[in-house]
Protein backbone atom coordinates (compact mmCIF):
# COMPACT_ATOMS: atom_id res chain seq x y z
CA UNK A 1 0.00 0.00 0.00
CA UNK A 2 2.79 2.41 0.93
CA UNK A 3 4.57 1.66 -2.37
CA UNK A 4 1.42 2.47 -4.31
CA UNK A 5 1.03 5.76 -2.47
CA UNK A 6 4.69 6.53 -3.17
CA UNK A 7 4.19 6.17 -6.92
CA UNK A 8 0.98 8.21 -6.80
CA UNK A 9 2.81 10.99 -4.94
CA UNK A 10 5.65 10.86 -7.46
CA UNK A 11 3.16 11.10 -10.31
CA UNK A 12 1.49 14.14 -8.76
CA UNK A 13 4.85 15.87 -8.24
CA UNK A 14 5.82 15.10 -11.86
CA UNK A 15 2.52 16.57 -13.08
CA UNK A 16 3.11 19.70 -10.99
CA UNK A 17 6.59 19.96 -12.51
CA UNK A 18 5.17 19.68 -16.01
CA UNK A 19 2.64 22.43 -15.34
CA UNK A 20 5.32 24.67 -13.79
CA UNK A 21 7.63 24.13 -16.76
CA UNK A 22 4.90 24.92 -19.23
CA UNK A 23 3.87 28.03 -17.28
CA UNK A 24 7.48 29.25 -17.14
CA UNK A 25 7.88 28.72 -20.88
CA UNK A 26 4.59 30.43 -21.74
CA UNK A 27 5.41 33.47 -19.61
CA UNK A 28 8.86 33.91 -21.17
CA UNK A 29 7.94 33.12 -24.77
CA UNK A 30 6.13 35.83 -26.69
CA UNK A 31 3.20 33.99 -28.33
CA UNK A 32 2.55 36.79 -30.88
CA UNK A 33 6.20 36.82 -31.90
CA UNK A 34 6.20 33.05 -32.15
CA UNK A 35 3.10 33.10 -34.35
CA UNK A 36 4.74 35.71 -36.59
CA UNK A 37 7.92 33.63 -36.79
CA UNK A 38 5.98 30.56 -37.88
CA UNK A 39 4.49 32.53 -40.78
CA UNK A 40 7.73 34.53 -41.38
CA UNK A 41 5.55 37.63 -41.08
CA UNK A 42 8.21 40.34 -41.01
CA UNK A 43 5.65 43.13 -40.93
CA UNK A 44 4.01 41.70 -37.80
CA UNK A 45 7.47 41.46 -36.27
CA UNK A 46 8.20 45.11 -37.02
CA UNK A 47 4.94 46.19 -35.40
CA UNK A 48 5.45 44.03 -32.29
CA UNK A 49 9.16 44.55 -31.86
CA UNK A 50 9.20 48.33 -32.22
CA UNK A 51 5.70 49.18 -31.00
CA UNK A 52 4.63 50.79 -34.26
CA UNK A 53 1.32 52.54 -34.71
CA UNK A 54 -0.77 51.94 -37.81
CA UNK A 55 0.38 55.29 -39.19
CA UNK A 56 4.06 54.49 -38.67
CA UNK A 57 3.64 51.07 -40.25
CA UNK A 58 1.88 52.57 -43.28
CA UNK A 59 4.70 55.07 -43.82
CA UNK A 60 7.32 52.34 -43.44
CA UNK A 61 5.40 50.17 -45.90
CA UNK A 62 5.45 53.04 -48.40
CA UNK A 63 9.18 53.54 -47.86
CA UNK A 64 9.84 49.85 -48.48
CA UNK A 65 7.71 49.93 -51.61
CA UNK A 66 9.62 52.95 -52.92
CA UNK A 67 12.91 51.20 -52.16
CA UNK A 68 11.88 48.15 -54.20
CA UNK A 69 12.90 49.71 -57.51
CA UNK A 70 16.35 50.62 -56.18
CA UNK A 71 16.68 47.17 -54.64
CA UNK A 72 15.84 45.58 -58.00
CA UNK A 73 18.60 47.59 -59.66
CA UNK A 74 21.15 46.50 -57.08
CA UNK A 75 19.89 42.92 -57.37
CA UNK A 76 20.26 42.89 -61.15
CA UNK A 77 23.70 44.52 -61.03
CA UNK A 78 25.01 42.06 -58.43
CA UNK A 79 23.54 39.05 -60.19
CA UNK A 80 25.03 40.15 -63.51
CA UNK A 81 28.46 40.57 -61.93
CA UNK A 82 28.22 37.20 -60.18
CA UNK A 83 27.10 35.53 -63.40
CA UNK A 84 30.07 37.02 -65.24
CA UNK A 85 32.38 35.81 -62.47
CA UNK A 86 30.94 32.28 -62.67
CA UNK A 87 31.45 32.23 -66.42
CA UNK A 88 35.03 33.39 -66.06
CA UNK A 89 35.68 30.69 -63.45
CA UNK A 90 34.12 28.02 -65.67
CA UNK A 91 36.16 29.11 -68.66
CA UNK A 92 39.39 29.01 -66.63
CA UNK A 93 40.18 32.70 -67.00
CA UNK A 94 43.45 34.15 -65.74
CA UNK A 95 43.71 34.99 -62.07
CA UNK A 96 44.04 38.69 -62.82
CA UNK A 97 40.76 38.72 -64.73
CA UNK A 98 39.07 36.78 -61.96
CA UNK A 99 40.38 39.19 -59.32
CA UNK A 100 39.12 42.11 -61.38
CA UNK A 101 35.65 40.59 -61.69
CA UNK A 102 35.57 39.74 -57.97
CA UNK A 103 36.34 43.39 -57.29
CA UNK A 104 33.39 44.36 -59.48
CA UNK A 105 31.11 42.03 -57.52
CA UNK A 106 32.40 43.40 -54.22
CA UNK A 107 32.03 47.00 -55.35
CA UNK A 108 28.39 46.44 -56.37
CA UNK A 109 27.71 44.67 -53.07
CA UNK A 110 29.20 47.64 -51.23
CA UNK A 111 26.93 49.99 -53.15
CA UNK A 112 24.01 47.76 -52.14
CA UNK A 113 25.17 47.66 -48.52
CA UNK A 114 25.40 51.46 -48.39
CA UNK A 115 21.95 51.77 -49.94
CA UNK A 116 20.46 49.33 -47.44
CA UNK A 117 22.04 51.16 -44.52
CA UNK A 118 20.60 54.40 -45.82
CA UNK A 119 17.18 52.80 -46.25
CA UNK A 120 17.28 51.38 -42.72
CA UNK A 121 18.11 54.84 -41.36
CA UNK A 122 15.13 56.32 -43.19
CA UNK A 123 12.91 53.63 -41.70
CA UNK A 124 14.39 54.23 -38.23
CA UNK A 125 13.61 57.94 -38.58
CA UNK A 126 9.91 57.06 -38.87
CA UNK A 127 9.97 55.38 -35.45
CA UNK A 128 10.37 56.93 -32.04
CA UNK A 129 14.05 57.84 -31.39
CA UNK A 130 14.51 55.03 -28.87
CA UNK A 131 12.90 52.36 -31.08
CA UNK A 132 14.68 53.69 -34.14
CA UNK A 133 18.02 53.27 -32.40
CA UNK A 134 17.09 49.74 -31.33
CA UNK A 135 16.12 49.02 -34.93
CA UNK A 136 19.49 50.19 -36.22
CA UNK A 137 21.43 48.48 -33.43
CA UNK A 138 19.79 45.19 -34.36
CA UNK A 139 19.89 45.35 -38.16
CA UNK A 140 22.97 47.35 -39.17
CA UNK A 141 25.42 44.80 -37.70
CA UNK A 142 23.60 42.03 -39.56
CA UNK A 143 24.01 43.97 -42.82
CA UNK A 144 27.68 44.67 -42.12
CA UNK A 145 28.52 41.11 -41.11
CA UNK A 146 27.32 39.61 -44.37
CA UNK A 147 29.88 37.08 -45.56
CA UNK A 148 30.44 37.61 -49.25
CA UNK A 149 32.12 34.22 -49.66
CA UNK A 150 28.93 32.32 -49.04
CA UNK A 151 26.23 31.68 -51.61
CA UNK A 152 23.32 34.03 -50.93
CA UNK A 153 20.35 32.68 -49.02
CA UNK A 154 17.85 34.04 -46.58
CA UNK A 155 19.99 33.28 -43.55
CA UNK A 156 22.77 35.70 -42.76
CA UNK A 157 25.83 34.06 -41.23
CA UNK A 158 26.54 34.91 -37.60
| Contact call for residue 36 and another protein (CB under 8 A) | yes
The stretch among 51-59, 95-103, 124-132, 136-144 that binds another protein (CB under 8 A) is: 136-144
Q: Tell me: does residue 1 bind another protein (CB under 8 A).
A: yes
SS (H, E, C) 15-28: HHHHHHHHHHHHHH
Burial pattern 22-58, b for ≥16 Cβ within 10 A else e, equals eeeeeeeeeeeeeebeeeeeeebebbebbebeeebbe
Q: According to CB under 8 A, which residues from 67 to 126 bind another protein?
A: 67-68, 71-72, 74-75, 78-79, 82-83, 109, 112-113, 116, 119
> By the 8 A CB rule, do 49 and 137 touch?
no
Euclidean distance between CA atoms 41 and 38, whole angstroms: 8
46 near another protein, rule: CB under 8 A? yes
Using CA atoms, how far apart are residues 139 and 116, in angstroms rounded to an integer?
10
Positions touching another protein (CB under 8 A) are 1-2, 5, 8-9, 12-14, 16-18, 20-30, 33-34, 36-37, 40-42, 45-46, 49, 64, 67-68, 71-72, 74-75, 78-79, 82-83, 109, 112-113, 116, 119, 138-139, 142-143, 146, 148, 151-156
Amino acid sequence: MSRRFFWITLGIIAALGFVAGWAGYYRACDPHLHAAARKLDAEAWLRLEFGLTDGQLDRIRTLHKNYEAECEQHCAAIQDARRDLSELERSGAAEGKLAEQRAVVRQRELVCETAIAGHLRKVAALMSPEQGQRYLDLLLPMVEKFDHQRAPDLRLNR
